[in-house]
Structure 1
Amino acid sequence: MTLKEEFQTRNFSIYGQWLGILSMILCFATGLSNIFTLFSKYALLIIFCAFALASSLIILFIEVPLLLRICPTSAKFDELIRKVSSNYIRAATYGTMAIVQFLSTIIVSSSLIAAAVFLLLTAICYGLAGLKGQAFIGSKTLGGAGIAQMIV
């Protein structure tokens, strides 16, 4: 199945997975840039930047299951990531990450709001997939549906 065919299935979990990848990139970029640009003026923002950077790594392992096989991680971490498997749990995970990033606006408005918006959109997509009763379908491009089994 090509990427175009995956999007044509109208399964919101595919949309959520790709929005999750965009969220990961935005969390990493905005978290890293805000640490350096606002370091001296708003010290509390560093905490939210650290959450954004941690979120990007967690999203990477959630959305690209192939990495759990090839990266040396602990058994507890693998178990925690594997629990985030259904659409509702993914929606809750992304919703929680979005709330944390939205809370950063209490300190100062920064580019972390972009990460928060994309995390919220991802949560909405996974929530819609759950409400519509659509089964989670992992993108073959990102290591789901058989690619991980080919790696020995």
Structure 2
Amino acid sequence: MGLADEFRSGNFSLYGQWQVRSYLHYLIMAFLLVFIEIPLCLKCCPTSAKFDNALQQFQNSYFRAIAYVVFAVVMWLAVGLGDRTLQVVSALALSFGAVSYVIAAARHQTPASSTITGGTGVSTIV
């Protein structure tokens, strides 16, 4: 059964699955951002050495800025495809995060981890 056949079938359980799939990339972005930004998750969740090494690349403000820009562009494109208030808020938050990391990179500041999210805070950086 192809996509056109599924569409013509009138089976709403298929349409429900399509809605979940349409939000899958947002879940992937959220998963990555949680592990990049919240050190407590790395302490609580078992991760592999390969995953930990991949996340080490994001300990640089430039890489974080690039990631946030990419995620913000995806969200702004989604906003352009439809009027979705929640996506506008997400796109704005990601854009603000990207700008913040660009400024931090320009000032050569190392990423700090907030004590609120299980990090060490700014006392170890200053």
1:96 match: secondary structure: helix
Q: Tell whether 2:94 aligns with 1:119.
A: yes
Q: How does 1:103-118 map to 2 (within 5 A)?
A: 103-110=77-84, 111-118=86-93
Deviation at 1:82, TM superposition (A): 2.0
Cα deviation 1:119-142 (Å, max 9, x = unaligned) = 010010011111122232221222
Partner of 1:28: none
Q: Give the fraction of aligned pairs with identical amino acids, expressed as a percent.
A: 30
Please report how far the alpha carbon of residue 91 of structure 1 lies from its aligned counterpart in structure 2 after TM superposition.
0.8
What's the Cα RMSD here?
A: 2.5
Q: Which has the larger radius of gyration?
A: 2
Equivalence map 1:2-151=2 (5 Å): 46-47=21-22, 49-110=23-84, 111-145=86-120
Q: Distance in 1 between matches of 2:101 and 2:78?
A: 23
SS in 1 for 2:59: coil
Mapped partners of 1:116, 1:45: distance in 2: 20
**Uncovered stretches (5+) of structure 1, i.e. residues with no partner:** 1-38, 147-152
Residue 68 of structure 2 aligns to a residue whose secondary structure is helix
Number of aligned residues: 106
Asked whether the equivalents of residues 45 and 104 of structure 1 are also in contact (C-alpha less than 8 Å), the reply is no
CA distance in 2, matches of 1:46, 1:116: 20
Relative contact order higher in (CA < 8 Å, ≥ 6 apart): 1
One-letter amino acid of the counterpart of residue 145, structure 1: T
Would you identify which runs of 4 or more consecutive aligned residues in structure 1 move more than 3 Å?
A: 43-46
Deviation string 1:76-119 (CA, Å, 9 cap, x unpaired) is 22222221101111111111111111111342121312111100
